Amino acid sequence: MKDTQSTSWQNVAAWYDKLVGSEGHYYHQHVVLPGLLRLLDLQPENSLLDLGCGQGILSRVIAPVSAYLGIDRSKSLIEAAKAIPSPKNYSFQVFDVTRELQAAEPIFSHAAIVLALQNMEYAEGALGNAAAYLKTGGKLVIVLNHPAFRIPRQSGWDIDKKTKQQFRWENRYASPLKIPIHMLPGKDSSAVTWSFHRSLQDYFKMLKNAGFVVTDLEEWASDKASVGKASKMENRSRREFPLFMAIVAQKV
């Protein structure tokens, strides 16, 4: 399995690996990974397919499983994943997970796509691969930047001067969007990745078309806390508008 096509993440792989590190950034450690591990509920006899695995953070925090396969399009990120020792039954491969994986067999009990599906233009392909590799009844867990509240360039925070309340504004939601993200603004104009916004309805339809039924959905807020004069307002807003969404689906 080999894919020689380039990816925008290849240009920022070194920076991203340094930013996230071997254990993940703050929200990986405090919000995303704890929630993801709880939803996956992996047992020793289970196996896990990690699509868009990046530098293999998930492989380093899961309990021992019978098999793990991490796939990512970025050669540099896969090299970073391989550089950290892992069990012999864990493997990493370079491939575009939105393209049909070769010789797919339903051999995995679980699959995960963690903070990656929103960076894939052809997300349907990734979901199709998850379905092809999962056994019937297998579990897929997807973690996204919340598609209703975190839309790059189309959402943000402001303060109502009359009520002195912080609020979340949104310019767009229903329409699919392809949004450039400048990862190193003012430093490197070539360090651009792409974010693909989709509505929750879009995700549910893609899952249905791929042969999944949604069994659970969770919204995860930041666990940080502000201090100072604006802390009450900021903490309230932080609780009300979640950062992440987790979708649990079952192959049928």
Asked, for residue 217, whether it belongs to a domain, the answer is yes
For 163, the domain range is 8-251
Assigned domain for 3 exists: no
190 pLDDT tier (thresholds 50, 70, 90) = low
Task: Name the CA dihedral angle for 93, 46, 129, 249, rounded to a multiple of 10 degrees.
Answer: -140
Report the domain count for the chain. Answer: 1
Summarised one tens digit per residue, pLDDT across range 204-233 is 999 999 999 999 999 999 999 999 999 999
Beta strands in 115-164 (DSSP E): 134-145, 155-160
Query: Could you tell me the pTM of the whole model?
Result: 0.88
> Does the structure show a pLDDT above 70 at 248?
yes
Work out the burial of residue 232: count CB atoms within 10 Å of its CB; fewer than 13 is exposed, 13-18 middle, 19 or more buried.
Answer: exposed
pLDDT tens digits, one per residue of 3-25: 434 455 455 444 444 445 555 67
Specify the pLDDT at position 181. Answer: 87
Q: Which of 29-43, 53-67, 176-190, 204-218 has the lowest mean pLDDT?
A: 176-190
Structure tokens, 176? 């699919």
Q: At which residue do the structure tokens 């993940």 appear?
A: 24
Do the Cβ atoms of 35 and 100 come closer than 8 Å? Answer: no
Output the pLDDT for position 4: 37
Let me know: does 36 contact 246? Beta carbons within 8 Å.
yes
Residue 239 to residues 26, 116, 145, Cα–Cα distance (Å): 17, 24, 15
Give the tens place of pLDDT for each residue, 225-245. 999 999 999 999 999 999 999
Which pair of tokens denotes residue 100?
A: 């049909």
Does residue 85 carry a pLDDT above 80?
yes
Given a cut of 70, whether residue 45 has pLDDT beyond it is yes
Q: What is the mean pLDDT of residues 90-113?
A: 91
pLDDT score at 12: 46
Which residue, 48, 141, 53, 147, is CA-closest to 96? 53
Is 140:249 a contact under the CB 8 Å cutoff? yes
**Percent of the chain, pLDDT > 90?**
79
1 inside domain: no
Check residue 7 and give its pLDDT: 52
Q: Which CATH number fits the domain that encloses residue 83?
A: 3.40.50.150
